[in-house]
Amino acid sequence: MIVVLLNVYLVILFLLVKLKIVPFNLFWKVSPALVFLLLLIGLFIPMGWGAPQGAALVVRNSVAIVPNVAGEVIDVPVIANTPLKAGDVLFRIDPVPYQAKLDALKAQLELATLRLSETTRLQTTGAGRGFDVEQAQAQTDQLQAEIAEAQWNLDKTVVRAPADGYVTNLALRKGARVSSLPLAPVMAFIDTSDTIIGIEIAQINARYITPGQPVEITFKYAPGKVYPGKVESVLQAVASGQTQTSGLAVAPKEIASLPLAVRIRLEDKNFADVLPAGSTGDAAIYTDHVTPTHIIRKVLLRQIAITNYVNPF
């Protein structure tokens, strides 16, 4: 853009000199350099913090699906990359062992309940001990708790979607044996209930960014279009500023000025919902400072949107 404005000035200067409106003296000869410095210092450098621009990325929360119970998979009705609703069945584990355990506990509970009734009747007639009643009651309560756990295990043989989304890279098949180990997930579930869009902004340009400021963003996925949004938050930490508990001494390393991440939300929720995870683009944030630069940034962003038709990078 600075080159375009400078070329416009050169054309105007050429016409003025050609028409002999201005003399072609030393001042007008060096005036293009002066105009360049004026544009750079007075407009384009302040535009960095008045309307900062950065690369954008769409990310989604991924849930590692680990069943709560182990067993043989008997059904996988889900289809990879097909939209699912929260509660839809992902796969089923053979329920027979868990149903058998539940039935056995229910049978024991019937016997324990009968024993509690008999000991209570004997205690009321003076032919039994109070301790026997308490022991029978405790056994009954324990069996009821075990039945609740067995019923929970039986219910968990049907694994359901934790939220709206889809399963990707599906490799699970009928007949496979799964376990409840947290380090052995059987599928990856992509949560689409919330679309996370992050922008990387250089630290030098992030000083005036606050939640609620307007944003415009263009995606490689949708070339030629610019979508409005709002700043949600500025993430207050990057990896280089994080420390963890360790038994090691500080390991000095070269400090790099990493960009800060800004989370935004699109106004068009329907479009946000269909954006594939990993979609990239460019975004501009319009702060309350150096507002005249907003017009230049809007033009630059729309140029990027148009070149997205042919620029794959």
Domain residue limits, the chain:
1-47, 99-155
Residue 193 is predicted with a pLDDT of 85
Per-residue HEC secondary structure of 51-111 comes to CCEEEEEEEEEEEEECCCCCEEEEECCCCCCCCECCCCEEEEECCHHHHHHHHHHHHHHHH
For the chain, how far is it from start to end, CA to CA, in angstroms?
20
Mean pLDDT of the chain: 87
**Greater confidence, 48 or 284?**
284
Verdict on whether the full-model pTM lies above 0.85:
no
| pLDDT confidence tier of residue 230, bands split at 50, 70 and 90 | very high
Q: How many CB atoms lie within 10 A of CB 131?
A: 10
**Measured distance CA(40)–CA(262) in Å, rounded:** 26
Given a cut of 80, whether residue 25 has pLDDT beyond it is: no
Q: What average pLDDT score do residues 151-166 get?
A: 94
Q: What angle do CA 163, 164, 166 make, to 5 degrees?
A: 105
Q: What average pLDDT score do residues 146-175 get?
A: 93
Residue 105 is predicted with a pLDDT of 93
Given a cut of 80, whether residue 271 has pLDDT beyond it is: yes
